[in-house]
Structure 1
């Protein structure tokens, strides 16, 4: 695999779900500490009176007088017979899962008031809070007191599967109760009355997509003998056990068919029966953070169970007689962070500035830099010259490398036919010289120090042509070299997991890097491989091993190595030890076994040494950063000297008024060296059509409120709409082209708020097929939340210049993961500056970046930097609620819980958090894409086949099973009632009705048609067809901050629209009757993407298209 690709792939591997943390109680004496732990101050309040609640845990006091419940992160008590609630906790913290102590004087609960999720106890009136666990990144679930009241049991995740721990109420770090089997999670403890037996639910791992049942079973652990016995074997699973106070009954949750119920077992006989059905749908197909059911419990007399379902609280008699509702009212007052919402203009100036320079490498004398931008090769004089394009071929130009004398630049090309290695004079004179004879995929060129050969990586051209996802370097990638004057390519060795060939000053050995092997070198014939160093970073929460560096490059003198770990760069001293390869951790540089210097705090890409071995270059966005090691050392020495002088100098006598008159001096004792940064301005011409066109005679569904115009004129000049109105009632520019669309329907272009294109990284393809597929199906604007690499910046720029045909590309860039190790607001600002100052993404994706304290820092930094932060829902309902409370702009994927009642709906509507549910990959049930694949026949869809490579479509449609089409988990056939997506779509209906916002996100599951599947699924929850279209258009634009220019058919807005053959207001499935697509004023045929206005131009043939075999040999009738 290409090392550059390996570095990018680190973005994809980092984290699945955020860890939670917050909470401040109004009565808590430790309130100042809680404020410090949760830095976000309340800016809004959600106030209403609730008589229903979502996913409420309920417990009855030992005297039977009161219930304790949680709602939207606060804890309340309610009279056992019902009535008004009394608040126990308040503030920004999220407090949940309360449980009474056996004597009724205290309540255990889970809270993030310390910044991270932890186990707490408080007095029964909400005072005297005490933190029992003291972690920052662990998960805590389902507390339960031991019968003697001395301990609280809780499920805690540390490393691997979550296990049950006991925390003594008088202190201690807690002790793990159940260890084996290690892969099995242990969740939701409950005790026999004598405390000997601990009942719990167990499962393999933490969650799975497209879950196959059973997921959970109950087990009983003997605390005296240390033995475990499995106690259920139900297909519907067994989870959330509760033992009655008299020890006679065991209750637990299970499924019957597709619904959840409560079962009760008489422990003496083993007899079981259903007690309540259906109840709250369980959460066993999601993460463990809320357990599989909300907390419930027996009454003190063991004759009934108090439990919440249907948003209400019920007293259910164990004898099966009629249950009694316990009515309640809660005066909700949720403290919330500020709304983070901005509007961004869609740029349509004649010139664009490339947002990214790639693979920048300095000349041997350090006076020039070669790089690729917009797919072209440039050289620039340092420090402030103008970039000059030095090659002029039609193919993409990538991966430059300087000849040792600085006269030539070698590079690779890629076009529809394949790729080659070329060289061109660094001054741009003369024509490029092709060095290779055979077409292939080449990458990672490096000139040998003696100037005679160029080493590179090579893979078959076919592999990149036919790739349907990200290209990872090819199945049979190899190291090769070619003479500097051109000629036959010589194979050195198979890649074997190594890549990024480079040299020290010695021409005799080639260095390369592979994550598990580290930095190695070998001879030109591929033999005598030697390991030099491995570099690792900080282990992630829950991980057992630290991550390897993304790339490591040896310095020209062989004494230092330049490592990229996560997004940052380090220089490590490489010891010559002669034994096992030295492993150097940069997690804490001051504790590393050899000297380590951290070079960056914002991050970057494409690190490279200058020939002197004392200067490092990297780039970030279109900025070139230069770090001079000698200047940095001199700077550090001056700081140390200043500290010594400051420590030795006597205090200066104070002079009245002197401080006021003297300007503040720079503190030379704490200053740090800053590398040099240069912005490199490469410009391109924006694709702007010219001319006027009128689409005449169609019904226009404008999205200006509920406006629908029959027999409309939609007038477009250049790339913007200038008029929309009844035919003949609007001014038509002289000479305008009239396009008759009588009987058709015009809607705004669709906005995909959660797209994934999975572009080929590093070596950029000429025309990504996924962009064509989406545009052909009417998607004119996309946002990719978590791209895995920054290649998307260059692809988006090439769409803007017209070099690529496709929808508008917006993205968050790579996600902000836990690997950033954010520990302060300032650090959060530094990380997010990548996106605001360098990538210009406008939105970011907070992807499990840390506990709630970290998430709040990120939210605060995003607001300061005018970034709209969206998040990964991560199958974690409690975390989702806290992100809405904190004011995050969006949440990607559906909340796993259904049903959701007014409490959660009001929270998200008030917060302004846009929900993009991506129900094709829905949480809490089978993916809806399985429904469409097994009920329809996309394999035979001629249009889909035109715009989708055969391998991609066949892998998803010919057979559905484990891993079909790249899907995780069993991707197969499910009964219709097993799908829960309609219930999740109902949440979107309720959210929109409450004034909230939603978006349509296809998740890149089936490019183009998949968007319509998602739209139809969201509409199935009860949205009107007009509201469904509004979610797909105007709300999508609002979600991205682009509503001033996109999302509706209005004068002044950009001309992105779709002409449909049939009316989606009559049938939402008519969205897939695309006749024409207009993107940025250019009109395309919806079936072929041939341009129809203002140019008449056929879409070029695509190299990835495969034809059916047409050969002479083979079996014949």
Structure 2
């Protein structure tokens, strides 16, 4: 029987215990402001409270609250007193509360730190107990079990021994080549197949690449190096490509390029003002381009950030016309007159992403589909199918218009549906003469024909397997040229005696080839000599838990102040255990290729998140764990971060899968 409910999915309610007379339930609850979990909560104020539920009337009251909070309520045998934990001046202390008078007394202030500021799904402090005579409280702290006399607060250790056996697994360790001669490009973004199914474009290494399917060589769309290129999209006839650009100084444009040789691959800007432009798409007849205008300010320039929203512009260029302020990821179905948008109306327990359509004049908004956890919707060009991504899988259903909103999800029963991908999928779209479904994962492009028979098949074994095509390439790992001699400096080494005076260090390309006292090291004739008398030379710092934004609206800046700050403080390698997957691995590959200046960047990408959310990593088996590790490995990760996976078996499955 459920007795309480959480105010939101991200607010912990736990540590329940019945009163001695059985008339009440005591429990702790996160009562901090807001509806979502927040870091850096102030433990000097109130975070947790102890609540009392009347089991006869159903009424609930805050029994113990105030500065320092209150948690782990534990009634005395006579039912007159509650022991509980409170934080005072940074110390977690054991207190008692007189239920009749409300008086509070501190008994002991050297407990282990409670967990009020963080997730506490298993309780804020380990359980403790009163002795049957009510004279003492037995609790754990500082690795030992203690008995505290309530009357005089005298403390006595309770010695104990535990005979136990544990299975300890070998750690998963393997070498990582930080500077190979070449490396495979895995982070392909905005993967789009032409309407004829004969070409694929994507963004990688800061620029747009185009490849003839099935086995052509990927080549740059342009040869310019003034700006980075993003968000490519084909016209319906396959003759043109629209995309956006970014330059840290001049900001962004929307550009259209012809793919026809007769037009000599004409490339032109269709916007006349700089801005932060994303997600451009052609209307079905090719006469207009609809796009989203965003803003900057943290990682990119704050200029030209006003009047954000969805706009339309003639594909030949002109004055943009605003359609609506709300929505993202514009796209078209079969009609030129209505544009489809995605909207998110997050509440405390769900993301609630909607697919809506609106007239090109910004009127007659209609909500077609909604989903609790979908992260992307795509409509087929003929308007027959709707594809969506939920929990990293790709699903397809018929696009049905009923005049009402239809809820989509793997478990919905209202529409025939099938899961297209056993692997993870990104950048879904319908394209080609038969509106095949495409999606990508890392270097691979997946394609699958779509039919109603697939959605009504009772046997999953009868479903066709997707075709897989590796569409990426390898590129040279950047390295400096020449030889550098650092002379006369003090050297901080990693072996005894650690400080070496007046040393010479020889660097050839990207390798240290010799080091020793001045005069004892041969300096090559072609070396550039850098005198460092009075300076200290040390190995670059490796930050194994680094966080820092790498992109804004998908734009990776040409110069990221986060990375310049790291380098300025001597950090030459970072490992980021929680970042946007697409942004961090795209930036990492651009660093390897020498296109941006940054420390060597490694990452887990997005955490394997165990709590509710659209990017939750559901893990209930070894197969589930392998699914998530395979999708992260496909885009360049060599490590993952298990975060808020509440059960021990879930965490073990991740380790086993690794």
TM-score norm. by structure 1 comes to 0.53
Q: Secondary structure of the residue that 2:408 maps to in structure 1? A: strand
1:482 corresponds to which of 295, 309, 313: 313
Structure showing greater relative contact order (alpha-carbon pairs closer than 8 Å, 6 or more residues apart) = 1
2:189 maps to what in 1?
Answer: 358
Deviations 1:81-131 (A, max 9, x none): xxxxxxxxxxxxxxxxxxxxxxxxxxxxxxxxxxxxxxxxxxxxxxxxxxx
1:576 aligns with 2:401: yes
1:314 maps to what in 2?
Answer: 146
1:618 maps to what in 2?
Answer: 439
1:550 aligns with 2:375: yes
Displacement of 1:180 in angstroms is 9.6
1:410 aligns with 2:236: no
2:350 maps to what in 1?
Answer: none
1:822 aligns with 2:619: yes
Cα distance between partner residues in 1 of 2:484 and 2:524 = 8
The answer (yes or no) to whether the contact 1:354–1:797 under 8 Å persists in 2 is yes
Cα distance between partner residues in 2 of 1:571 and 1:182 = 31
Count of matched residue pairs? 634
User: Structure 1 769/503 Cα, relative in aligned 2: closer, same or farther at 3 Å?
Assistant: same
Displacement of 1:330 in angstroms is 2.8
Cα distance between partner residues in 1 of 2:500 and 2:100 = 72
Cα distance between partner residues in 2 of 1:274 and 1:391 = 72
1:502 corresponds to which of 323, 331, 335: 331
Displacement of 1:799 in angstroms is 1.2
Deviations 1:175-197 (A, max 9, x none): 23456989986543445544344
Deviations 1:304-348 (A, max 9, x none): 222333333333223206433222333443333332122211133
Cα distance between partner residues in 1 of 2:454 and 2:98 = 78
More helix by share: 1
1:518 corresponds to which of 354, 358, 365: 354
2:581 corresponds to which of 783, 789, 796: 789
1:595 aligns with 2:408: no
Q: Secondary structure of the residue that 1:569 maps to in structure 2? A: strand
1:529 aligns with 2:365: yes
Q: Secondary structure of the residue that 1:820 maps to in structure 2? A: coil
1:425 maps to what in 2?
Answer: 258
Cα distance between partner residues in 1 of 2:130 and 2:65 = 24
Displacement of 1:804 in angstroms is 0.7
Displacement of 1:227 in angstroms is 4.6
Deviations 1:713-767 (A, max 9, x none): 2221111111222223333333322222222222211112122222224233222
Displacement of 1:672 in angstroms is 4.9
Q: Secondary structure of the residue that 1:843 maps to in structure 2? A: coil
Cα distance between partner residues in 2 of 1:812 and 1:180 = 31
1:585 corresponds to which of 390, 402, 409: 409
1:735 corresponds to which of 514, 519, 526: 526
CA RMSD of aligned residues (A): 3.1
Displacement of 1:360 in angstroms is 2.3
Q: Secondary structure of the residue that 2:437 maps to in structure 1? A: strand
Cα distance between partner residues in 1 of 2:60 and 2:622 = 46
Displacement of 1:237 in angstroms is 3.4
User: Structure 1 475/786 Cα, relative in aligned 2: closer, same or farther at 3 Å?
Assistant: farther
1:124 maps to what in 2?
Answer: none
User: Structure 1 612/777 Cα, relative in aligned 2: closer, same or farther at 3 Å?
Assistant: same
| Gap runs ≥5 in structure 1 | 1-174, 537-545, 641-668, 863-1117
1:775 aligns with 2:587: no
User: Structure 1 796/427 Cα, relative in aligned 2: closer, same or farther at 3 Å?
Assistant: farther
Displacement of 1:198 in angstroms is 4.1
1:204 maps to what in 2?
Answer: 31
Cα distance between partner residues in 1 of 2:272 and 2:109 = 72
Cα distance between partner residues in 1 of 2:71 and 2:354 = 45
Q: Secondary structure of the residue that 1:857 maps to in structure 2? A: helix
TM-score norm. by structure 2 comes to 0.87
The answer (yes or no) to whether the contact 1:368–1:382 under 8 Å persists in 2 is yes
Q: Secondary structure of the residue that 2:148 maps to in structure 1? A: strand
| Gap runs ≥5 in structure 2 | 346-352, 611-615
The answer (yes or no) to whether the contact 2:210–2:220 under 8 Å persists in 1 is yes
1:438 corresponds to which of 257, 270, 273: 273
Displacement of 1:531 in angstroms is 2.7
Displacement of 1:488 in angstroms is 1.1
User: Structure 1 475/815 Cα, relative in aligned 2: closer, same or farther at 3 Å?
Assistant: farther
2:630 maps to what in 1?
Answer: 833
The answer (yes or no) to whether the contact 1:750–1:781 under 8 Å persists in 2 is yes
Displacement of 1:607 in angstroms is 1.3
Cα distance between partner residues in 2 of 1:747 and 1:629 = 59
Q: Secondary structure of the residue that 1:195 maps to in structure 2? A: coil
Cα distance between partner residues in 1 of 2:454 and 2:113 = 64
More strand by share: 2
